[in-house]
A = this chain, B = another copy of it.
Amino acid sequence: MASEIRPVFFISDGTGLTAEGLGQALLSQFENITFEKTTLPYVDSVEKAKKAVIEINAAGDQSQTTPIVFDTIVNQEVRDVLANCDGFLVDIFQTFLKPLERELRQSSSYSVGMSHAVAPDGQYSRRIDAVNFALDNDDGARIRYYDQADMILIGVSRSGKTPTSLYLAMQYGLKVANYPLTEDDLDDDALPETLRKYKNKLFGLTIDPERLQAIREMRRPDSRYASLKQCQYEVNEVESLYRRHAIPFLSSTERSVEEISARILQVTGKRKSAR
């Protein structure tokens, strides 16, 4: 079957993240089609909706197909405008709100933007505090605040600790420090002194040695640090350290930051609350 090109629009009265997230997941189920994706956030007035309709129709004319439109707009008036476009509308909210209203025996609030309201101040601050905590306690830079950490990620250099710490902070508001296990740590059978009393907060990352080599090679080409032999040695040692001390761990190879984070929370049960 020849490859086909379809324009896709994610339209929202907020950031567009929900429409994108659901839309992408659905579209990934269809192969052989190239989707040309456009996100139109903050479409929160009739005027903006009219502009969106013009853009959608133009994309349809140009591609000679029907654009797919995922929308999460709450306001009825704005949605009515959008309903007149030439696209195939996947009206995410409308589809589910009615059955939910029946089940919950309550009308939903249809005010614009309500669904995208800023989280209560406490929760927002919690996430920013957590990001700052991750930055301040990155890469073993400071260890004296480990008592305040929700979790301490450990692993060899370039195994994915920093992005994972930041994602856990940003998405889940968790305070995650990270500590790099170096050759000195690995030569010893015991856990590094610094970590010993926080054993229940430790989570290990590991990585495929070949992948590690490729990553380190970009950072410091032709170094001992980036040699396959060194990578194999460190990964072997770190995995036996995890096993010896019964520290839960997983591999970051071939996994996105989202997936590593979700799996860590599943294993540790440290998800504080859904966003």
Instruction: Check if A74 is an interface residue, CB within 8 A of chain B.
Output: yes
A106 at the interface (CB under 8 A from B): yes
> In the bound complex, how far is the Cα of B20 from the Cα of A261, in angstroms?
15
CB < 8 Å: which of B106, B118, B275 contacts A24?
B275
Q: CA of A92 to CA of B99 in the docked complex: distance in angstroms? A: 13
* Interface range on chain A (Cβ under 8 Å from partner): 35 or more
Among A90, A266, A274, residue most surrounded by chain B Cβ atoms (within 10 Å): A274
Q: Which of the listed residues A29, A33, A263 has the most CB atoms from chain B within 10 Å of its own CB?
A: A29
A residues 1-46 with Cβ under 8 Å of B? 6, 10, 14-18, 20-22, 24-26, 28-33, 37-39, 41-42
Residue A62 at the chain B interface, CB threshold 8 Å:
no
Task: State the A residues within 8 Å of B (CB).
Answer: 6, 10, 14-18, 20-22, 24-26, 28-33, 37-39, 41-42, 66, 68, 72, 74, 88, 90, 92-93, 95-97, 99-100, 103-104, 106, 108-110, 114-119, 124, 127-128, 131-132, 135, 138, 160, 162-163, 166-167, 170, 254-259, 261-263, 265-266, 271, 273-275
